[in-house]
Amino acid sequence: MTGPAWDGQGTDPWLPQRLNALIEAAEVERSIRRAVWAALSDWMVRAARRVLRGSAPPDIDAIHALAPLWRDAVGLIVQGEIKDAVGRSYVRLLGEEFAWDRRPFVTHYLAEARNRLVRIPDEVYGLAAGQISHGVNLGEGIPKLTARVDDVLSTTESERWPNRATTIARTETIGALSAGRHDAFLAFAAEDPDTEYEHLWLATEDGRTRPHHRDADGQRVPLDQPFIVGGFELRFPGDPLGPAQEVINCRCASLLLEKGESVDVTDRQMRSRR
């Protein structure tokens, strides 16, 4: 079953919902990006001090020694900005008194987010090791090898790490907002068992939207069934269980509807109406 989709002629029946989703995502993304960049840039500075030791060869094993510091920083981000993003839809749909943070789905999702983000030291080590291997094969001495590793660890000489922070923030923002929205929809529906609910995929309609997500725009399925996007099952936009090409930098959103209904009900304050 499908809902009204953008017709390519300037008529967009879901424009208010798209704009609301974009505004919320932009706000959350800024918050997560600030936290990620502060943690990442601080960790990189510490890593550079440990790895680069004057005239001595770069000690890239020190990157792994600093992994616990990064795990601690990730824990604060996950339990802070990311958790806050997950909780937004529960509060909007079910009221502030709803104990959303005790739901197993939330606990599991936050654990998944932590597992994704703690891998950064492995990524940094791989890049540094690759540069050293390349330099050794070229017969380079310690000064050039040190410069290669310094380039990897620098947060100012290239856009690698600022861009990495932005990609992390964008991906985690959509994942957290969509995950919270999806489970909040399920909790909402569970308290209204006599009504059949569906969810609708809303793409961002601009030139950066990937074709599979544009094709999914308006896709409408029962709430307990996944969307099919690019041939893959996605529980919600940004689903971390989906393939990277359908998840990273996704800017889509989902909408809750009663079966056969064409009205946005995502702003219902269910508990306040009872």
User: 184 is written with which tokens?
Assistant: 């909040």
Evaluate whether residue 8 is within a structural domain: no
In this prediction, residue 6 has a pLDDT band, given cuts at 50, 70 and 90, of: very low
Residue 2 lies in a domain: no
Mean pLDDT, the chain, as a whole number? Answer: 90
Give the structural domain span for 145. Answer: 15-273
Q: Given this model, what pLDDT does residue 5 score?
A: 47
Q: List residues bridging with 221 in a β-sheet.
A: 199
Flag whether 10 is in a domain.
no
Which residue's structure tokens are 């219902």?
Answer: 268
Is 192 contained in some domain?
A: yes
pTM flag (> 0.85): yes
Q: Where are the alpha helices (DSSP H) in 95-243?
A: 104-117, 120-137, 142-153, 160-190, 211-216
Assigned token pair, 56? 């001595």
What's the rounded Cα separation, in Å, for the pair 210 and 66?
37
Q: Is residue 1 part of a domain?
A: no
Across the chain, the runs of DSSP E, i.e. the strands, are 197-202, 220-222, 227-229, 232-234, 253-258
For the stretch 75-92, pLDDT in tens is 999 999 999 999 999 999
226-243 confidence digits (pLDDT tens): 999 999 999 999 999 999
Residue 158, classed as helix, strand or coil, is coil
Q: How many domains does the chain have?
A: 1
Question: Distance (Å, rounded) from C-alpha 247 to C-alpha 206?
Answer: 17
The verdict on residue 4 lying in a domain is no
Q: Is position 155 within any domain?
A: yes
- Residue 259 in domain: yes
At residue 56, φ and ψ (nearest 5 deg) are -80, 155
Per-residue tokens: 132:
């050293």
Going across the sheet that includes 197-202, the strands are 220-222, 197-202, 253-258
The model's confidence at residue 267, banded by pLDDT at 50, 70 and 90, is low
% pLDDT > 70, the chain: 91
